[in-house]
Structure 1
Amino acid sequence: MILPNDIKVIFFETFNGDRSVLEFEQWLYANRQLEKRMHPDDYLELIGYGYKGDRAAYGLKELLRKHIRPGEFKLWKQLRQKHPNGYTPNSIKTPFDEQLQRIKDKLPIAKNADEGCDVFCADTHEYLLNVPATEEEVSAFEHKHAIQLPPCYRSFLLVVGNGGIGSRDSGAGPGYGLYPLGCDADKGDYISHDCVLKPDMTINEWESLTVFVHNEENISNEQYLREARTLFGGILPLGTQGCTYIHALVLNGPHKGRVVNLDYNYLCLPCFSSTINFLDYYEGWLDAVIDGTLRHPNAPEYGYS
């Protein structure tokens, strides 16, 4: 049974040692909602526990462990570390507010639909997102790299979330999840360059852009990097799909705001998402989790397939 957030926080604080056994016992007997929220056997186990003795704290921790999801506990600790005085949500308005609210509503639905984390790599992020970035953090990133993030993605960072508990602090999203803002952004310093990729790129066009890969032994490192910057310029990595495959965001040009799947080994043509912007791409992933498309055996990946 999923416990409400206010009860989870009490459990987290006690498990973390911030609340004493006595404080938890007093809260337990004073809380009239807990009996309704917990399975009867679990509630009786807590009520009947002996809260006295030298090993009371250890035993209570073991009891609470059954009701604490490691991912949620890790996220709670990250939040406390970043916001020791308490977190206040951003209060902003965006052109995407209706869709952003839909996405926030669908995240717990997707998590419940895939309770066993059967979707590819969902067990790494557990459908959890860290709290949103601040305007100061986003603006500093844009200033540092001399770019402007697409409004759809920028709004997601400020309203929905920024990273999580997964690999490289990735949060809920396709593949191994969504990177927090800035992860891999300095890789080759490509993101401030112009984007030359397009959805209808032909094999001949791709091969002409990747000649340097097959001619590596005959060109200097500087020339190789220049060619690589041209190829993946104006692209912000969003996350990894494993091996050399990533999903990324186009930062400029006619396809700004669209998501493209790329191969860092340059073996595959860019594969643009059919959606017109990042929010549609992300909501489409949630819908595919909820309706079961990505949960059945041999389901396609949400990226390169």
Structure 2
Amino acid sequence: MWTGVRERVLALRDAPHWRKVFGADRTGHGFELLPALTPDELAAAEAHLGVTLPHEYRTFLLEVGAGGAGPDYGLFPIRPPAPGAPPADRQAARPFRPELTALVDAHALDEPRPAGHPDDEAFRAAHAAWRTREDALDDALVDGTLHIGDRGCAYYSVLVVGGPHSGTVWEDVRAVGEGVVPQRLASTEGYLSFAEWYHHWLTWAERTARGESAR
């Protein structure tokens, strides 16, 4: 699955048009990769998160690198916790519930209005309760996921780490009120796995960096 991938990524640092690859130039990843994790380091990171990471992502961390070059602005690093680090919040270990995006949309339509309340105090209390529920739903949208990449403009790529959708890559687009939605490719059906997502990016990056994309 990952044979030769690290070498392919690092080779793009010498490609003539590598700066044309979105996210690689300036403050981007520059086609650099962190060293791969050792099995013990990976086990420590998983224990800290409270999950066993999906197979494709685990093997990537062990064989390719623990972060760096990847889609958009690259992959966030995964490292074992430092000595004395506080416990993780274990959000990744909670169930992933994609249906919450629809609930968030429905909740937005139920925002209290002053006209529906007898006085200002009643309205303020109702709106505060509505806001509390909104914040809780928003936080819960990324339960059962791990943020793995920065897409820019407060958009993120997330990996589902448990349940029926484990191992698939989704988009955290809460910044524009659209919740968490699956990443899709026109060339594939269904949900996109981590390996499909990364290999698709690498093939495109190679063509772009070598000036082949217009051929």
Common topology (TM > 0.5): yes
| Largest Rg, 1 or 2 | 1
Does 2:134 match 1:237? no
Change in 2 beyond 3 A, CA 1:148/1:294? farther
> 1:221 and 1:273, CA in 2 relative to 1: closer, same or farther beyond 3 A?
closer
Q: Aligned-pair distance for 1:223?
A: 4.7
Give the Cα separation in 1 of the matches to 2:79 and 2:145.
Answer: 12
The Cα of 1:113 is off from its aligned counterpart by: 3.9
Deviations 1:83-140 (A, max 9, x none): xxxxxxxxxxxxxxxx211422421344444644221220121111011112222212
Alignment partner, residue 42 of structure 1: none
1:101 partnered with 2:3? yes
Kindly indicate whether the alpha-carbon contact (under 8 Å) linking 1:148 and 1:251 is maintained by their aligned counterparts in 2.
yes
Q: Deviations over 1:152-184 (max 9, x none)?
A: 101111111012xxxxxxx1011211000169x
TM-aligned CA distance change 1:161 to 1:229, over 3 Å: same
Given residue 181 of structure 1, which amino acid in structure 2 is its aligned partner? I
Secondary structure in structure 1 of the residue aligned to 2:37: coil
The structure, 1 or 2, with the larger RCO (C-alpha pairs under 8 Å, 6+ apart) is 2
TM-score (norm 1): 0.52
The structure-2 alpha-carbon separation of the partners of 1:260 and 1:213, relative to structure 1 and needing over 3 Å to count, comes to farther
Aligned CA distance change for structure 1 residues 269 and 230 (closer, same or farther; 3 Å)? closer
What pairs with 1:1-305 in structure 2 (closer than 5 Å)? 99-113=1-15, 115-123=17-25, 124-163=28-67, 171-181=68-78, 189-197=90-98, 204-205=102-103, 207-208=105-106, 211=108, 217-219=127-129, 223=133, 225-265=135-175, 267-274=177-184, 276-292=192-208
Q: Identity across aligned pairs (percent)? A: 26
Summarize deviations over 1:218-252 as a string: whole Å, max 9, x none.
Answer: 23886555323422111100121112100110111
How many residues are paired up? 187
Structure 1 pair 125–190 and aligned structure 2 pair: CA distance change class (3 A): same
Distance 1:145-1:108 versus aligned 2 partners, 3 A rule: closer
Q: Distance in 1 between matches of 2:23 and 2:171?
A: 17
Measure how far apart 1:268 and its partner are: 2.3
Cα pair 2:57 2:194 within 8 Å, conserved: yes
Cα deviation per residue 1:185-214 (whole Å; 9 max; x = unaligned)?
x8975212111127xx9x855513x64996
Deviation at 1:296, TM superposition (A): 9.2
Judging by fraction of residues, say which structure has more helix.
Answer: 1
Tell me the TM-score normalized by structure 2: 0.71
SS in 2 for 1:241: strand
Distance 1:255 1:114 in 2: 39
